């Protein structure tokens, strides 16, 4: 937990659902975390967790075949030093019970994104998506 008091802040941005948006998602996060004055090491970890969650939307919720105009929204908010990152998308409904990472000792390509998210964040929660959204993922971290 950081000793710095971070200013309350909320910001959101929409991105096209495709792999080339991932760098834009990272840039957005870095900009917001600069404003929140989050220290460098933690910022890198948070950017990784958020980019992995966005990647899961592209890869799994849309199976790499979203329509060219399909959007996902990333919202970053900080209140009372609690960081909350929300994702909204209209892909295939996610069954939280099926979201799991591979056994970490079973070394093979793939299955690490969810592991990274869980390692970095305090909580990962799938909520009911309110129209027009289908999936609503919320990641939280106490700063």
Partner 1 sequence: MSYKVTEEGNIATIHLDGEIDMDVTEKAKEVIFPHIDAGKEVHLNLSNVQYMDSSGISVLIESHQKGLEKGTKVIIKDVSKSVLKVIMMAKLEQILNLE
Pairwise CA distance, residues 52 & 22, whole Å: 9
Q: From residue 19 to residue 58, what is the string marking binding to partner 1 with x (rule CB under 8 A)?
A: xx-xx--x--------------x--xx-xx--xx--x--x
| Measured distance CA(55)–CA(77) in Å, rounded | 20
CB of 7 to partner 1, least distance (A): 25
Which residue has tokens 């959101």? 12
Q: Which of 69, 97, 98, 108 binds partner 1 (CB under 8 A)?
A: 108
CA 143 → CA 13, 56, 128, distances in Å? 22, 24, 26
Catalog residues that contact partner 1 under the rule CB under 8 A: 19-20, 22-23, 26, 41, 44-45, 47-48, 51-52, 55, 58-59, 104-105, 107-110, 112-113, 115-116, 119
């Amino acid at each position: 937990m950081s000793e710095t008091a971070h200013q309350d802040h909320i910001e959101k941005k929409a991105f096209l659902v495709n792999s080339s948006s991932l760098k834009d998602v990272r840039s957005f996060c870095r900009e917001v975390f600069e404003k929140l004055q989050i220290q460098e090491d933690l910022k890198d970890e948070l950017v990784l967790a958020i980019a992995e969650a966005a990647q899961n939307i592209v890869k799994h919720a849309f199976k790499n075949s979203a329509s060219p105009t399909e959007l996902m929204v990333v919202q970053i908010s900080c209140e009372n030093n609690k960081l909350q990152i929300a994702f909204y998308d209209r892909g295939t409904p996610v069954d939280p019970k099926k979201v799991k990472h591979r056994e970490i000792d079973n070394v093979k390509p793939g299955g690490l994104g969810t592991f990274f998210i869980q390692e970095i964040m305090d909580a990962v929660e799938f909520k009911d998506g309110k129209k027009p959204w289908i999936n609503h993922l919320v990641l939280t971290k106490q700063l």
